Amino acid sequence: MMQANNQKLIEVRGLGKMFTLHNQGGIRLPVLRAIDFDASRGECLVLSGRSGTGKSTLLRCLYGNYLATEGTIRLRDTSEASEPWVELTNAPEQRVLKLRRDVIGYVSQFLRAIPRVSALDVVADPLQQRGASHEEARARAATLLERLNLPRRLWDLPPATFSGGEQQRVNIARGLIGGHPILLLDEPTASLDADNRAVVIELIREALAEGRSLIGIFHDEAVRDAVATRMLPLQPATALA
């Protein structure tokens, strides 16, 4: 299918997130307020702002982990030709799960290790869920782990005992493999050495060239400068009150 390479994939309007701490006497904690942005294919938006401004919270809202308390998040479901736009804030759970399988990927800062599943299968899983055969998914997983310099002797072991940087590379490979048009990245290079950071920069650039849209948090300035097409600075929400 032909795709305009600047096709809009995300539209966020007036997004707000307020946490209510029920076991702290219902204290209300405003974190995000009045966030507006769009993101299109080939763009890498980098969230910036001091610690605690809500960068990770914003990614979780976009992934449907946190429910926004104000505003709208609309995602283009590229697998639905007839009614492509989904309003995430009131989408049924099944639709959110389908979006996560086909449309939106998320690389959290830490890998949530699945007991007894080998690194190769952890990485292959999202591609298999999208319909690829076991062999095909494992072959693609091997290519990614190879590029990310994960030693072969680790491929058949569960990642639970891997080093921080090894787990992070498994996590990145798992995030990239599904080919999701939208990819959220929370500090994907924080535990990596310079060589592996360079590989991740390369993989991110390839994803952008394929017309995927990335939204990420990168504290490393060199990585940020190498991948960002636009910055999205977040302010402390209380400062706006």
Ligand X SMILES: Nc1ncnc2c1ncn2[C@@H]1O[C@H](COP(=O)(O)OP(=O)(O)OP(=O)(O)O)[C@@H](O)[C@H]1O
* Sites of contact with ligand X (CB under 6 A): 19, 29, 31, 51-57
Shortest reach from residue 183's CB to ligand X, in Å = 17
With CB under 5 to 8 Å by kind, the binding choice for 19 among Mg ion, ligand X, none is ligand X
With CB under 5 to 8 Å by kind, the binding choice for 52 among ligand X, Mg ion, none is ligand X
Shortest reach from residue 220's CB to ligand X, in Å = 13
Q: Which of residues 195-224 bind Mg ion (CB under 5 A)?
A: none
Report d(CA 137, CA 154) in Å as an integer.
Answer: 17
Q: Which of residues 46-65 bind Mg ion (CB under 5 A)?
A: 56
Nearer Cβ to Mg ion (56/189):
56
Q: Does 78 sit near Mg ion (CB under 5 A)?
A: no
Nearer Cβ to ligand X (32/141):
32
Q: Angle of helix 194-209 relative to helix 164-177, nearest 10 degrees?
A: 10
| 3-state SS string for the chain | CCCCCCCEEEEEEEEEEEEEEHHHCCEEEEEEEEEEEEEECCCEEEEECCCCCCHHHHHHHHHCCCCCCEEEEEEECCCCCCCCEEEHHHCCHHHHHHHHHHCEEEECCCCCCCCCCCHHHHHHHHHHHCCCCHHHHHHHHHHHHHHCCCCHHHCCCCHHHCCHHHHHHHHHHHHHHCCCCEEEEECCCCCCCHHHHHHHHHHHHHHHHCCCEEEEECCCHHHHHHHCCEEEECCCHHHHC
Q: How many residues bind Mg ion (CB under 5 A)?
A: 1
Nearer Cβ to ligand X (51/94):
51
With CB under 5 to 8 Å by kind, the binding choice for 181 among Mg ion, ligand X, none is none
With CB under 5 to 8 Å by kind, the binding choice for 54 among Mg ion, ligand X, none is ligand X
Shortest reach from residue 52's CB to Mg ion, in Å = 8
Nearer Cβ to ligand X (55/197):
55
Say which residues have a Cβ less than 8 Å from residue 88's Cβ, sequence separation at least 6: 61, 62, 64, 68, 73, 74, 75, 96, 99
Shortest reach from residue 142's CB to Mg ion, in Å = 31
Nearer Cβ to ligand X (41/60):
60
Shortest reach from residue 92's CB to ligand X, in Å = 22
With CB under 5 to 8 Å by kind, the binding choice for 57 among Mg ion, ligand X, none is ligand X
Binding site for Mg ion (CB under 5 A): 56
